[in-house]
Structure 1
Amino acid sequence: MRLCETAPCVKWVSSEWTECQGTCELGTQERHIRCVRHTSVYTSSPESVTWHSSEVPPDTNNMVVEQEVSPSACESQSKPLEKRSCLLSTDCPYWYQGP
């Protein structure tokens, strides 16, 4: 049995990468990383809950609640990258010494 089945799931969640930012050839992309806890919640009247498309549909009585928690609650070894290098262009001007 997995820990998530007996306790709230804690995991890293990342946003989408930003556009490549920088000058000339190489740039950097960034994204926001959060440690979140997913907890299953039961409600006796699902029609009284505001539902979002990523959640369980309103014809059920369970929903998953996402709560941001301290980064120390997630495994540091599995934390996704927050920054990475990216290629902007290969057509950059450069100086060279002629004959």
Structure 2
Amino acid sequence: MKKILFLMVAAALAIVGCSQKQKSISDMTPMEKEVYVDSLVNVASGIDGVTLRENRKNALEILRKEYPNLENRWKRMEECINNMELYSE
């Protein structure tokens, strides 16, 4: 099930990334936005497997820009990234 979900996310990101005109998150359909944000959370939290620290930080920065009202959560996630730990609430 996880592999299928991961492949779906990867395919969706590939489709979005291959378009010549980059969409902002606000221009995405609700389904595209959900898949994109879920993939960012998976990368930033480390639950998608072995991920480079820099990739996790980049995903976190995108999340911070899109959802600034969740700063307490992002601070805790950043601590986990710096310690190379999985994020859990």
Common fold: TM-score over 0.5: no
Normalised by the shorter chain, which TM-score bucket? under 0.3
* Structure in which a larger fraction of residues adopt helix: 2
Highest relative contact order (Cα 8 Å, sep 6+), 1 or 2?
A: 1
Task: Output the TM-score relative to the length of structure 2.
Answer: 0.20
TM (norm. structure 1) is 0.19
